[in-house]
């Protein structure tokens, strides 16, 4: 991959997908700035993962806190009283309305202050949880909206958009950073070892199994 001489801002949750995007970004851009959002998530242990991963790779990390989602939404990622469910033909209880919209808007504001127009996010439409704000159509629409709103030609990169979880695992292997995934956190319940039963854990395990690669994190036996 030819390295671009420009810089980029990456939304880094500390999870598998965003960490894979970080590895991709480090090969593509001359300088990468990571942005992690603390939004009241029950699995806030992922913040520790983001700190560890950026420290290892010597990537500048900015953590931004917001309580907007806790104030206006009700979902299983913010409220432990709400069960994690994936009902048929309905949005999962883990869906946080407006999350990617707000996250990318914050990233664009941060990027503009740094003189950066490239933004990276790990959303995926192929193997995803049914979240409407992970779709390519939404990303393209927001890219145009943010560009118009700030008089900056932003480009939102989505390296994983059309990849299955297995292909994402293989991409990390090709990038030579597969060992970095042992520091990532995926479990919605915020457990370490991971529960292995929530939708996020199941999707991750499925991806590693189909890729024929052992998942480096530990799960509850």
pLDDT of 3 = 63
Which H or E element spans position 11? strand 4-11
* DSSP states along 170-209: HHHHHTT-GGGGGG----TT--SSB-S-SHHHHHHHHHHH
Return the axis-axis angle of helices 165-174 and 199-211, rounded to nearest 10°: 60
Task: Give the whole-angstrom CA distance, residue 177 versus residue 171.
Answer: 9
Is the C-alpha dihedral spanning 117, 122, 126, 131 positive or negative?
negative
Burial class (CB in 10 A: 0-12, 13-18, 19+), 176: exposed
Between β-strands 4-11 and 29-38, what pairing exists: parallel, antiparallel or unpaired? parallel
H or E stretch covering 75? none
pLDDT value of position 221:
73
Specify the pLDDT at position 199. Answer: 92
* 184 neighbors 15 (Cβ within 8 angstroms): yes
User: Which CATH class for the 4-211 domain?
Assistant: alpha beta
Q: What is the pLDDT of residue 130?
A: 81
- 31 CB burial (10 A radius; 0-12, 13-18, 19+): middle
The pLDDT of residue 127: 72
Look up residue 175 and give its two tokens.
Answer: 């990038």
Angle, to 10 degrees, between the axis of helix 165-174 and the axis of helix 16-28? Answer: 40
Tens-digit pLDDT string for the chain (221 aa): 656 679 999 999 999 999 999 999 999 999 999 999 999 999 889 999 999 999 999 999 999 999 999 999 999 999 999 999 999 889 999 999 999 999 999 999 999 999 999 999 999 998 767 899 999 999 999 999 999 999 999 999 999 999 999 999 999 999 999 999 999 999 999 999 999 999 999 999 999 999 999 999 999 97
**HSE-CB for 156 with a 13 A CA cutoff:** 28
């Amino acid at each position: 991959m030819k390295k671009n001489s420009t810089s980029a801002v990456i939304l880094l949750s500390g999870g598998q997908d965003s960490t894979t995007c970080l590895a991709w970004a480090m090969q593509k851009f001359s300088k990468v700035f990571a942005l992690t959002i603390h939004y009241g998530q029950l699995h806030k242990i992922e913040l520790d993962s983001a700190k560890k991963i950026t420290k290892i790779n010597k990537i500048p990390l900015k953590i931004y806190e917001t309580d907007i989602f806790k104030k206006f939404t009700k979902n299983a990622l913010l409220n432990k009283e709400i069960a994690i469910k994936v009902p048929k033909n309905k949005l999962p209880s883990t869906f946080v309305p407006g999350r990617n919209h707000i996250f990318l808007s914050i990233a664009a504001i941060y990027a503009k202050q740094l003189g950066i127009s490239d933004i990276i996010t790990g959303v995926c439409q192929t193997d995803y949880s049914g979240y409407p704000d992970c779709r390519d159509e939404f990303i393209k629409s927001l890219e145009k909206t943010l560009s118009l709103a700030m008089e900056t030609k932003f480009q939102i990169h989505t390296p994983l958009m059309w990849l299955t979880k297995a292909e994402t695992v293989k991409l990390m292997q090709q990038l030579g950073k597969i060992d970095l995934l042992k520091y990532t956190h995926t479990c919605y319940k915020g457990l370490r070892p991971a529960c292995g039963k929530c939708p996020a854990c199941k999707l991750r395990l499925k991806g590693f199994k189909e890729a024929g690669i052992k998942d480096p994190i530990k799960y509850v036996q």
